[in-house]
Amino acid sequence: MNRPPEALSEAALAVIAEEEALLTRVQTTLEAARHKAGRDQENRGLVAQLQVLRDDAASAAVADLPHLFFQMDQTRALLDRQETSQLPDSQAPYFAHLRLHGEAGPRDYLLGRATFADVSAGVRVIDWRFAPIARVFYSYEEGDAYEEQFGERLAEGTVEVRRLVVIERGVLTRIISGALVLERDAHGAWHEVGRAQSALQAGGAGSAARPGMLGTGKGARRMEDAFGVTALLDAEQYEAVSVDPTQPLLVLGSAGSGKTTVALHRLAKIAFDNLEQFPQSRMKLIVPEPGLARLSRRLLAPLGLGRVSVETLDGWLLSTARSAFDLPGIKLSPETPPLVSRLKRHPALRRALLGRIGAPKTPQGTTLERVHRRLADAYLDRSFLEAVVRDARGELPSTAIDETLEHTRLQRSTPLAKELKDITDPERLITVDGKGIEDDTPYALAGTVDLEDLPILMFLKAQHGSLGLERLAHVVLDEAEDFSLFELFVVRRLLGKGKSCTLAGDEMQQTEAGFAGWPEALDELGIRDAATCRLQVSYRCPAPVVELARRVLGTQAPSESAQALRAGAPVGFHHFPVEAQAQLFVGEALRDLVSREPHASVGVIASSPESADAVYRVVADQSWARRVKDGEFSFEPGVDVTDVGSVKGLEFDYVILPDVTARAWPVDDESRRRLHVAITRTSHQLWVVSSGVRSHLISPEAGAAAPR
Ligand SMILES: Nc1ncnc2c1ncn2[C@@H]1O[C@H](COP(=O)(O)OP(=O)(O)OP(=O)(O)O)[C@@H](O)[C@H]1O
Question: What ipTM, to 2 d.p.?
Answer: 0.99
Pocket-testing residue among 95, 139, 239, 257, ligand 1, by greatest number of atoms within 8 A of Cβ: 257
**How many A from CA of 650 to the centre of ligand 1?**
10
Per the CB < 8 A criterion, the answer to whether 107 and 68 are in contact is: no
Give 455-502 pLDDT, tens digit per residue.
999 999 999 888 989 999 999 999 999 999 999 999 999 998 889 999
Secondary structure tally for the chain: helices H, strands E = 21, 23
* 391 in contact with ligand 1, CB cutoff 6 A: no
Could you give the percent of the chain with pLDDT greater than 70? 83
Q: Whose Cα sits closest to atom 16 in ligand 1?
A: 258
Q: How far is the CA of 227 from the CAs of 23, 114, 174, 267, 662, in angstroms? A: 16, 12, 13, 16, 43
Better-predicted residue by pLDDT, 559 or 280:
280
CA 95 to ligand 1 centroid distance, Å? 18
Query: Tens digits of per-residue pLDDT, 570-609?
Result: 999 999 999 999 999 999 999 999 999 999 999 999 999 9
Q: Is 177 one of the annotated binding-site residues?
A: no
Question: 254 labelled as ligand-binding?
Answer: yes
Instruction: Return the exposure string of 485-519: e unless at least 16 CB atoms fall within 10 Å of the residue's CB, then b.
Output: bbbbbbbbbbbeebbbbbbbbbbbbbbebbbbebe
In short, whether 257's Cβ falls inside 6 Å of ligand 1 is: yes
* Domain boundaries of the chain, sorted by first residue: 10-193, 233-320+464-535, 333-450, 543-702
User: What CATH superfamily is the domain 233-320+464-535?
Assistant: P-loop containing nucleotide triphosphate hydrolases (3.40.50.300)
Task: Give the Cβ contact number of residue 189 at 10 Å.
Answer: 16
Fold of the CATH domain 543-702: Rossmann fold (3.40.50)
The residue whose CA has the least distance to atom 25 of ligand 1 is 255
For ligand 1, whether the C-beta of 510 sits within 6 Å is no
List, for residues 612-644, the tens digit of each pLDDT value. Answer: 999 999 999 999 999 999 999 999 999 999 999
pLDDT exceeds 70 at position 449: yes
User: Would you say the CB of residue 64 lies under 6 angstroms from ligand 1?
Assistant: no
Of 326, 701, 283, 293, the residue nearest 502 (C-alpha): 283
What is the distance in A from the centroid of ligand 1 to the CA of 54?
A: 40
Q: How confident is the model at residue 428 (pLDDT cuts 50, 70, 90)?
A: low
SS3 breakdown of the chain: % helix, strand, coil, rounded to 5? 45, 20, 40
- 48 has binding-site annotation: no
The answer, yes or no, to whether any atom of ligand 1 lies below 6 A from the CB of 229, is: yes
Regarding the beta carbon of 411 and ligand 1, being less than 6 Å apart is answered no
Task: With a cut of 70, say whether residue 199 has pLDDT above it.
Answer: no
Cβ atoms of 156 and 100 within 8 Å: the answer is no
Helix (H) / strand (E) containing 324: helix 313-324
3-state secondary structure of 678: helix
CA distance 544 to 549: 9
260 in a labelled binding site: yes
Among 195, 260, 509, 565, the mutation site with the greatest number of ligand 1 atoms within 8 A of its Cβ is: 260
Ligand 1 centroid–CA 649 distance in Å is: 9
Give alpha helix (H) positions in 598-663. 609-617
Find out whether the beta carbon of 258 lies less than 6 Å from any atom of ligand 1.
yes
The band of 415, judged by pLDDT with boundaries at 50, 70 and 90, is: low
Whether 233-320+464-535 and 543-702 share one fold: the answer is yes
Residues in the chain: 708
Question: Per the annotation, does 257 bind a ligand?
Answer: yes
